């Protein structure tokens, strides 16, 4: 494992923890060269999950797209990066627990919105405005009323 700070290949594992029902191993490491600490995650390699887009195209599930969308929605909000990572893990686990090989992008968006609503309402509205592609202020106001 290369150190993200100095690119050294020498590190030692300080702590290992299993999470997400044993599907992910989180390892806390320390670089033997620069002494910086960093975290790595190991995932079980699974059958590729395909996402069905609105125009019926298929593409491989990319958890990074969800993560980036959440980070953008949570920008300048009091939401910890760990909360975003945990939410992405939770969404992927929910999808994989369905034991399906394809999932619609619409289903993923609804799952994300359901989880994000409990974390931060402003981030939820930001995500909803992009996901639901608001065309006018009435649609925006409808989502605001859902929060009451």
Torsion angle of C-alpha atoms 133, 116, 146, 140, degrees rounded to 10 = -30
The per-residue pLDDT for 136 is 78
Q: pLDDT tens digit string along 62-76?
A: 999 999 999 999 999
Domain ranges of the chain: 1-44, 46-146
Residues of the chain short of pLDDT 70, as ranges, are: 20-21, 46
Q: Any long-range contacts for 45-48 (C-beta under 8 Å, 24+ apart)?
A: 46/96, 47/101, 48/101
pTM summary value: 0.64
Report whether 58 contacts 102 (CB < 8 A): yes
The per-residue pLDDT for 46 is 67
The per-residue pLDDT for 7 is 94
Considering the chain, what percentage of its residues have pLDDT values greater than 70? 97
């Amino acid at each position: 494992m290369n150190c993200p700070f100095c690119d050294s290949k020498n590190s030692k594992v300080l702590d290992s923890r299993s999470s997400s029902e044993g599907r992910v191993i989180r390892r806390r490491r320390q670089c033997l060269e620069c002494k910086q600490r960093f975290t790595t995650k190991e995932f079980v390699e699974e059958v590729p999950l395909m996402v069905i887009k609105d125009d019926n195209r298929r593409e491989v599930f990319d958890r990074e797209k969800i993560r980036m969308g959440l980070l953008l929605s949570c920008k300048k909000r009091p939401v910890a990066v760990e909360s975003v990572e945990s939410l992405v893990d939770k969404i992927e686990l929910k999808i994989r627990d369905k034991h399906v090989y394809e999932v619609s992008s619409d289903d993923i968006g609804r799952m994300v919105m359901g989880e994000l609503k409990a974390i931060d309402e402003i981030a939820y509205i930001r995500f909803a405005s992009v996901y639901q592609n608001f065309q006018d202020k009435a649609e925006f106001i409808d989502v605001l009323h859902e929060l009451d």
